[in-house]
Structure 1
């Protein structure tokens, strides 16, 4: 399988290795990136990045390939996706798919014009064994009707410090932390609920990565942990005095169109990190943690534990709890046979709009009603006259 790359960052460098392991015919024919942070990973694994091009337009004109992979900074995604779709290409883009609600409308319009299936998205947690087992338990009726969800994504200080130092610290590049990092999780729970979010409230800010909390104030000069994860484009050494506008904690409350409610919490300074959920239904409860590797399901009537699963990451070099390998298999299968994917660009846009609305609610201190947003989104996605097509893909 031949691919071209726009934005050869750390993520696509890693995925290059994963794709090659799954498909030995995987080949990068060319790339565009003035400072390719993922180059070292490719070279370490004997993968050529192909020819370098100055612009995406030159790359598309100069090469023939099966898949265009986009790993550029988030605020560039829309333009790069547009180029691929207009050229009639199959496009894979890293999450988040776009960075504003207005860009979501613009991409929905492009999908209406060029087709919903030409754009694949790296919302990789949909491919994880744990999430697939959660949906299996739901499909088997072990949970009954979903009533409420409590969920979180917490990351360790070394990872939080990375966000304070990387280009992702700026909202105009990343779209905000909830979008950049937590869109994975929001997509998962949107899928479990099977409806769109309607009302959103949120609170948060920055309290941990602030000047007064620098370890240097306590006479600690070993700050290696806060620089362990390298930053790329627009990188900085500043951690506790970051010039970014990123938050380091946030809590949100969501009510979905079908009445299901969810609380979601994120924090960037958690020493013993976890990424867990508790999905409570009318007949049972599913509780799990992606980091700690378990999922239990209990029957609400008997309290019996009817599912007790544990999970292990396939290898020390595997990311996302083994989900990247399954995602690579599925993307390759789509390119070669058109096989159905577990997550769509529409799912990604819906999760992104929820994340962006959480930030709107946080900044305005108001409950946000998403009804007018979905009405405009559907007009863009299906056309104003095609109201019968407005069916959400869970």
Structure 2
């Protein structure tokens, strides 16, 4: 499979290695990136990135490819996706695929024109064994009708410090933290609920990565942990006095159109990190943790544990609990044989809209009603005229 890359950052450098591990015929034929941070990962494994091009347009014109992969900063995604779709290519974009409500409408219009199946998305957790087993338990009726969900994504201080130092610290490039990092998780639970979010409330701010909490102020001299994860484009050394505008904790409450409610919590400074959920249904409950690697399912009427699964990544260097390897395998089958994928561009758009609503609710301190947004989104998706309406508070 021949691939072109727009934005050869750390993520697509890693995915280039994983895709090649799954299929040795995988070949990057060209890329465009003024500072390709992912190149060392490829070179470490004896891989090349093909010819370098000055612009995405030159890359697309200069190479025949089976897939165009986009790993550029989030604020460039829409333009790069548009280039690929208009060139008739199959496109894979890292998440989040867009970073505003207006861009969501614009991409919906593009998908109406070019087809939903032309855009693949890097919401990799849909491919994880744990999530597959959760959905299987749900399909087997072990949970019954879903009633409520409690979920979280917490990351260790070294990872939180990366966000404070990387280009992702600026919302103008990345969008909010909950959009950039947690759209994975929001997508998962949207899938479990099987309905769109309707009402959203949220609170959060920055309380950990502040000057008062800098370790040197407490007599701690070793700051290595806060620089363990390298930053790329627009990288900086400041952590506790970062000039970024992202927050470091957030909680949200969501009510879906079918009445299911969810609480979601994220924090960037959790030493013993976890990424867990509890899905409570009328007939049972499922509790799991992607980091700690377990899924337990209990039956409601007698409290019996009917599923007790443990999970381990395929290697110490594997990212996302083994989901990247499965995603690569499924993408190959999709490109070569048309096999279905477990997540779509529409799923990605809906998860992104939920994240954007969470931030609007946080900033306005009001409950956001997504009904008018879904109305405009559907109009764009199905060929109607989508006015660029803002999010509305209830």
Tell me what 1:358 maps to: 358
Distance in 2, matches of 1:347 and 1:262, equals 18
Secondary structure of 1:117 counterpart = helix
| Moved >4 Å (runs of 4+) | none
Tell me what 1:392 maps to: none
The answer as to 2:16 corresponding to 1:16 is yes
The answer as to 2:337 corresponding to 1:345 is no
* Deviation of 1:202 (Å): 0.1
Tell me what 1:121 maps to: 121
Report Cα offsets for 1:71-93 as digits up to 9, x if no partner. 00000000000000000000000
Tell me what 2:329 maps to: 329
Distance in 2, matches of 1:334 and 1:283, equals 35
Tell me what 2:273 maps to: 273
Distance in 2, matches of 1:14 and 1:243, equals 28
Tell me what 1:57 maps to: 57
Report Cα offsets for 1:306-351 as digits up to 9, x if no partner. 0000000100111000000000001111111111000000000000
Distance in 1, matches of 2:316 and 2:58, equals 38
The answer as to 2:181 corresponding to 1:181 is yes
* Deviation of 1:172 (Å): 0.8
* Structure 1 unaligned residues grouped into runs of 5+: 386-394
Distance in 1, matches of 2:232 and 2:328, equals 24
Distance in 2, matches of 1:119 and 1:384, equals 20
Tell me what 2:168 maps to: 168
Distance in 1, matches of 2:62 and 2:343, equals 31
Tell me what 1:220 maps to: 220
Report Cα offsets for 1:242-289 as digits up to 9, x if no partner. 000101000000000000000000000000000000000000000000
Tell me what 1:388 maps to: none
Secondary structure of 2:234 counterpart = coil
Distance in 1, matches of 2:61 and 2:153, equals 41
Distance in 2, matches of 1:75 and 1:40, equals 24
Tell me what 1:48 maps to: 48
The answer as to 2:75 corresponding to 1:75 is yes
Distance in 2, matches of 1:206 and 1:218, equals 19
Distance in 1, matches of 2:318 and 2:271, equals 21
Report Cα offsets for 1:172-211 as digits up to 9, x if no partner. 1111100000000000000000000000000000000000
Distance in 2, matches of 1:116 and 1:162, equals 34
* Deviation of 1:384 (Å): 3.1
1:1-394 map, 5 Å: 1-384=1-384
Distance in 2, matches of 1:352 and 1:384, equals 21
Distance in 1, matches of 2:154 and 2:364, equals 24
Report Cα offsets for 1:351-394 as digits up to 9, x if no partner. 00000110000000000000000000000001239xxxxxxxxx
Distance in 2, matches of 1:170 and 1:384, equals 33
* Structure 2 unaligned residues grouped into runs of 5+: 386-394
* Deviation of 1:61 (Å): 0.5
Distance in 2, matches of 1:119 and 1:205, equals 34
Distance in 2, matches of 1:14 and 1:134, equals 27
Distance in 1, matches of 2:100 and 2:247, equals 17
Distance in 1, matches of 2:338 and 2:88, equals 15
Secondary structure of 2:120 counterpart = strand
Distance in 2, matches of 1:101 and 1:244, equals 22
* Deviation of 1:141 (Å): 0.1
Please provide the CA RMSD for this pair: 0.6
Figure out how many residues of one structure are paired with residues of the other and give that number.
385
TM-score, with structure 2 as normaliser: 0.97
